[in-house]
Amino acid sequence: MDVKSSLAAQGYAATRPATAPKAPAGNGAGETFAKMAGDFAATLEQGEQVAKAALTGDADPHALVEALAQTELAVETAVTVRNKVVEAYQEILRMPV
């Protein structure tokens, strides 16, 4: 092995950590998605609990309407996000390789 190539390899190894990508300061995309999925499930669970309470007469009808509206909004948002993801996936499939 040549001395110059040995020095080049050592120089590369020394500068490699400086050029490595840094982890984001905040949450990653996976953690954010998991939090959103958890919030979605919590909204659905809350709507279900209020609906059960309304059926037994323990909840105010106004609370039931609010819970159903929140649940409807959460489902519509999830469907919209799903449609955008499917659309992006189909666009990637149409790209020439």
Asked whether residue 7 is domain-assigned, the answer is: no
Domain with 46, as residue range(s), is 25-94
84 within a domain of the structure (yes/no): yes
Q: CB-based contacts of 44: which residues, under 8 Å, 6+ apart?
A: 71, 74, 75
pTM for the whole thing?
0.62
Q: Is residue 8 part of a domain?
A: no
Residue 3's pLDDT is 62
pLDDT category at 19 given cuts 50, 70, 90 is: low
Task: Tell me how many domains the chain contains.
Answer: 1
Helix (H) or strand (E) holding 13: helix 3-19
Task: Give the side-chain half-sphere CA count within 13 A for 62.
Answer: 0
Per-residue pLDDT of 45-80, as tens digits, reads 999 999 999 989 888 889 999 999 999 999 999 999
Note whether residue 12 is domain-resident.
no
Is 37 inside a domain boundary? yes
The candidate with the shortest Cα–Cα distance to 71, out of 90, 96, 49, 56, is: 49
Question: What is the number of other CB atoms lying within 10 angstroms of the CB of residue 26?
Answer: 7
